[in-house]
Amino acid sequence: MNTQAPRPLLGMGKTELEQWAQAQGQPAFRGRQLHDWLYAKGAHRLDQITVLPAQWRQQLAASVPPALLDWTGRSRELHRAVAADGTTKLLLATADDLSIETVGIPTADRLTVCVSSQVGCPMACRFCATGKGGLQRSLELHEIVDQVLSVREVMGTRPSHVVFMGMGEPLLNLDAVLAAIACLCGDLGMAQRQITVSTVGVPQTLPRLAELALERLGRAQFTLAVSLHAPDQQLREELIPTAHAYPIEALLDDCRRYVAITGRRVSFEYILLGGLNDQPRHAEALARLLRGFQSHVNLIAYNPIAEEEFQRPSPQAVEGFRRALVDRHVAVSVRASRGLDADAACGQLRRRLTASAAPGAA
């Protein structure tokens, strides 16, 4: 019997699982059973899938490759932090003992899962805790999908939205991110319009994202969120060191090409840093920069992290910035701050627990 799977079962569609079961000498319907238990029931181990023959489960359990925790590809939960507002952050262990963060953000009518696409991040944004540790590796398809299943399991609710806004730069892991979107839609029943991909910008990648989405997903209906955080190149380079290789004008040109290819508008993320980029003159400059653009601006009040002295903006500054954009006919919304009492910023929980576990840590 062939017991070597090309990859973990999580991330495979129904047809692939049927083929995998047949390669193990089982009838195709065993693959459909696997699909149901993986995606609908969220099984962590094959020995939990009691509809499968006991002898087959025992054989598979004895042949798990060293690179996997189990054939399913599910992770282990290392830590859970729950904020007063219900926001739940999970720290998950990969099979190679790295840790990744994912967050469940509940509201009255939805559950949004913020997923990571990499372990760490190479972009080194000064206001982001994830970038402080650099990049360890990109996540694989099953490791991304697992985050959504883990939040569903812990919070007891079917996620309604997924945002690629956790650890990492999604456009540097494009194949796995697009495959994850295909799996979330095809196997978990989500709609592309319920998914957002956030990027700080990688040169010459946005048009490729648009073309690959059309090729692999059939259409590009997910939301693209581009992190600007500054209305000019000089200030942007101060906040995002990698921006020196990607002038803001070139980034916006690529955004226009993305809109032309997909027909979808772009959302721009703008973190407000107290006294640094949250003044009326910054709002006026941002409005000029985006004039004539099919876009939407999402304002985010900075969530303080260690190692940086940036300040959270005052409510008055946030409202003043929003009003200045509205007065200049820019579509804008303010993202509500969630989970501030539970290390909510990307990378905070992982860094804190890693530091506390280090030899000699207090």
Q: Which residues pair with 92 in a beta bridge?
A: 77, 100
Pairing of strands 99-106, 111-114: antiparallel
Q: What amino acid is encoded at 284 in this protein?
A: E
Burial class (CB in 10 A: 0-12, 13-18, 19+), 195: buried
Strand, helix or coil for residue 41: coil
- For residue 298, the SS3 value is strand
DSSP letter string over 57-112? HHHHHTT--TT-SSTT---EEEEEEE-TTS-EEEEEE-TTS-EEEEEEEE-SS-EE
The region that residue 268 occupies, defined by phi over 0 for left and psi between -120 and 50 for alpha, beta otherwise, is beta
List of residues 6+ apart from 38 with CB closer than 8 A: 9, 10, 17, 72, 187
Residue type, 54: A
Closest CA to 117 of 209, 26, 187: 209
User: Are 83 and 70 within 8 A, CB to CB?
Assistant: no
The count of other CB atoms within 10 Å of the CB of residue 36 is 15
* CA gap 56, 47 in Å, rounded: 9
Closest by Cα among 204, 207, 190, 91 to 150: 91
Active site residues: 101, 346
SS3 content of the chain, % helix, strand, coil (to 5): 40, 20, 45
